[in-house]
Amino acid sequence: MPPSVAEIERDVGLGRAVHSRLLEHLRDNPFDAHEPSRLPGWNRAQVLTHLARNADGHRRMIEGAARGEVLEQYQGGVEGRNAGIDAGADVTAGEALEDFATATAALEAAWATTDWQGFGRRTLAGDSPIGRLPFLRTREVSLHGIDLDVGIELSDLDPRYVDLEMNRLQTLWPARQTPEQSSLPPAAVALAPIDRLGWLTGRLEVNGLAPAGLF
């Protein structure tokens, strides 16, 4: 079921806030774009480039839906997505940041003009109502902000995003498990909420717990 108008407005506001906070942090804290990120095999420039191309892909789906089309998020599918990431490997920090800022501004402009009708085809997840995209973008920027390894940690996440994500992931958990394992492991339940979110999203390793495997 597509989200309500109120939910979309909430997620757009949250997405704008998350964009602004990451941009401000990166502008105030110089970083080496070619240092490794926390994502295996990706440097920081590649993570930022991915966030820029993700913004382009969301805008592409939104603009396609406005014409009554269901467009693939990344032209060329998975190969196109991967090529876009790799293309950023050697850019400078300034170039990567400008790319991210420009693509993000264009996406926010698309948010401001769409009627949120129709569907887009997310390359790794299938068709999705356009109205779900602002939350998915918020997730992408929030988690990859940590992956950049530039001083942003789980504790820095917007509390509004944390609450929404926890509700979504704890609902998703049973659907990914066998009936006998439908409840979160006791060791996960015992974690502080922010640490539980880190484990569920693969951003925190916890002794005695296997990876959640949701992402």
One domain for residues 170 and 106 = no
How many structural domains compose the chain?
Answer: 2
Residues 85 and 173 both lie in one domain: no
Residue 176 has pLDDT above 80, yes or no: no
Reported pTM: 0.94
- Other CB atoms within 10 A of residue 197 CB: 23
Residue 134 lies in a domain: yes
Measured CA to CA, the distance from residue 152 to residue 147 in angstroms comes to: 8
What is the predicted pLDDT for the residue at 118? 97
Torsion of CA 144, 102, 19, 124, to 10 degrees: -40
pLDDT tens-digit series, residues 55-92: 999 999 999 999 999 999 998 999 999 999 999 999 99
176 is in which domain, residue-wise?
A: 164-200
In a domain, 106, yes or no: yes
User: How much is the average pLDDT of 117-126?
Assistant: 93
pLDDT digits (tens, 9 = 90+) for 38-61: 999 999 999 999 999 999 999 999
Average pLDDT, the chain: 94
Task: Give pLDDT, residue 174.
Answer: 79
Among 77-86, 103-112, 131-140, where is mean pLDDT lowest? 77-86
